[in-house]
Structures are given as structure tokens and as C-alpha cells.
């Protein structure tokens, strides 16, 4: 079996090609999906890539949430289809209510681009099984609206159910990628739904899959090998 992983392109998507390359490097087949099409082409999983869909007009991810492809995606995600949202894709997942909470502008009101230290909090999702809980990884981050917020009840629920997937590592110097880069509550960098098939995070694992480009690290590759192994095991 060759696992087929779809990558949705919205107007303003920037990292769809990078994501396709990461999927290919992991050993799966990337499938390009267009936001106006309802057909997911029978893919086994879907990635919503980073970028600035629709120029982030209205709100980041708010317009993309109503693209035709999202109607199909929402139904299939609720039925168990693995979905990963990266940066703008994470914003789309919150707007589509596949993940709780919302993304607001960075607390310092500036665009930020740097390598970022993360701690893996949940290694039991479809997209994180090749990590270990507590593992620290280095993943590039680039966003303007990356501040994760939710009400206290939702935050407590995420903590109690182990649904915080990644957290910004708070110790050390910011120049070395430590610290909360955008004011996200409880240092949350990524979360998962209750079933573990939908994951969203702000940093960009697709930019950390080969030693010669991007960050020069491969800390992001396990996202794509994790889902590949899950799909192969389920076939």
C-alpha cells in the first residue's frame, strides 16, 4: 500500500509544495487538493498547510473555513480521517471548530520568524507517534497571528484530557529559540482533538525534514512518518 496524503491549497497558501515534499520524503504519496473542490480524491489523510489564506482578511483562516473542500473535510475528520493543520492550517481548524480555541495576533504585535524549541506533550496522536512524550525538538516558526487563546474551562479540559500536543519550552534565552514567542496561553504550541486524529500546531515541521535545507534539522520528519506508519498498520 502507498499511503496517499492530500495537501489543500487555498489562495495565499505558501507552504503547500514544501509539505508535499515532506510527505514524499517520508515515503507517502502527496496529492494536491484545490480549495474549491469538494472531492478529497480518496486520500488517507489531509494536511492544511501554512501561509496567509485569503490574505488573512477578516481573520486568519476565517474565509478558508468556508471553502467547498472544508465541508467534506469536516465531515470526514469527524468520522476519523487524520488531519494536520500547520500554522494557517491550525487557524483554519479552529475556525472550523475541529479544534477548540482561537488564534489571535502575537502579543508583541510583530511577525516572528525563528527556530523554536518545543516539548512534545502527547505522543499518542496519529501525527506524533514517532516522538516520545517529553522530547524536545527544534521546529521553525513564522507567524503574525500565532497566539493561542481559549477560556479557562477549555484550557483546563485540554490539560486534563492530555490534548496539549506541543508546548513552547519556556526556559533559557529567546535567542536560542526558548520562550513563548507569541503569548499563547499556557505556552501551548499545538493541540489535538479528543480522538487524536486531528492535530494543529503553529510551528512548521515541513521546514525541518532534511539536513541541507530549512532549519538544517530533521526534527519535523516524524510528523509525516508517524501518519505513514499508522496508515500502513491500518491497511
Task: In whole angstroms, give the CA distance from residue 100 to residue 217.
Answer: 30
- Annotated catalytic residue within 95, 121, 138, 204: 204
Active-site residue, 87 included: yes
- Under DSSP, the state recorded for 143 is E
Residues 20 and 37: their CA atoms lie apart, in Å, by 18
Number of helical H runs and strand E runs in the chain: 5, 11
Active-site residue identified among 87, 121, 138, 207: 87
Catalytic residue, candidates 35, 138, 206, 207 = 206
Q: At what angle do helices 221-234 and 16-26 cross, to 10 degrees?
A: 60
Place of cell 525538538: 137
Catalytic residue status for 113: no
Host H or E run for residue 34: strand 29-34
DSSP state of 226: H
Catalytic residue IDs: 87, 204, 206
Amino acid at each position: 500500500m502507498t499511503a496517499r496524503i492530500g495537501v489543500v491549497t487555498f489562495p495565499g497558501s505558501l507552504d503547500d509544495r514544501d509539505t508535499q515534499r515532506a510527505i514524499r520524503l517520508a515515503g507517502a504519496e502527496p496529492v494536491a487538493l484545490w480549495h474549491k473542490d469538494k472531492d478529497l480524491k480518496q486520500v488517507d489523510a489531509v494536511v492544511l498547510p501554512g501561509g496567509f489564506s485569503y490574505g488573512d482578511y477578516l481573520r486568519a483562516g476565517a474565509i478558508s473555513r468556508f471553502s467547498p473542500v472544508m465541508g467534506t473535510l469536516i465531515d470526514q475528520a469527524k468520522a476519523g480521517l487524520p488531519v494536520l493543520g500547520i500554522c494557517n492550517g491550525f487557524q483554519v481548524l479552529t475556525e472550523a471548530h475541529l479544534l477548540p480555541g482561537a488564534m489571535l495576533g502575537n502579543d508583541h504585535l510583530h511577525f516572528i520568524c525563528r527556530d523554536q524549541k518545543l516539548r512534545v506533550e502527547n505522543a499518542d496522536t496519529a501525527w506524533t507517534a514517532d516522538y516520545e512524550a517529553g522530547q524536545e525538538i527544534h521546529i521553525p516558526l513564522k507567524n503574525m497571528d500565532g497566539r493561542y487563546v481559549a477560556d479557562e474551562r477549555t484550557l483546563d479540559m485540554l490539560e486534563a484530557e492530555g490534548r496539549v500536543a506541543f508546548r513552547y519550552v519556556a526556559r533559557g534565552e529567546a535567542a536560542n529559540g526558548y520562550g513563548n514567542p507569541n503569548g499563547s496561553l499556557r505556552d501551548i504550541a499545538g493541540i489535538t482533538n479528543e480522538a487524536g486524529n486531528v492535530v494543529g500546531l503553529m510551528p512548521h515541521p515541513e521546514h525541518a525534514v532534511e539536513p541541507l535545507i530549512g532549519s538544517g534539522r530533521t526534527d519535523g520528519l516524524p510528523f509525516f512518518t508517524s501518519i505513514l506508519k499508522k496508515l500502513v498498520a491500518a491497511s
